[in-house]
Amino acid sequence: MNPVSEITKLRRDLFTSVARWALKNIGSKPSEHDIANMVKELVPDGPPRYRCCIHKERAVARERIIIALGLHNSQSDNQPITVISEACNGCSLIKYVITDACQNCVAHPCRNSCPKNLFQ
């Protein structure tokens, strides 16, 4: 059995928060205040858990909520995915290199996909 990754936990919490809001406010469009409350629920006061600062964590959570609510204005209809610029650290997507320069990525792709279990 594979343990649930932190990114999966975050996604579940986010969609749960959005679904709760939607059930309580059927037919309504979320206000900035509603979005801010969801962000505060997902990223409470305290030290950052996954990123350099609490402000960056909240900015990423806010963008994810906006996307989940269908409020994101895509510049092109041909975009298959939405890239959240606040969440991008400029990581190489082509290969993984094992170093001691861990950036504490939220998904821990090196740890979760290592075929040799070097991070265990």
| Domain range annotation of the chain | 6-87
- 1-15, 16-30, 71-85, range with greatest mean pLDDT: 16-30
Residue 111 has pLDDT above 60, yes or no: yes
Using CA atoms, how far residue 87 sits from 2, 33, 61, 90, 114, in Å, is 25, 22, 9, 9, 23
Query: Residue range 22-38: average pLDDT?
Result: 91
Predicted structure pTM score: 0.66
Nearest to 56 by CA among 8, 88, 92: 88
Give the pLDDT confidence score for residue 38 in this predicted structure: 93
Query: Residue range 22-47: average pLDDT?
Result: 91
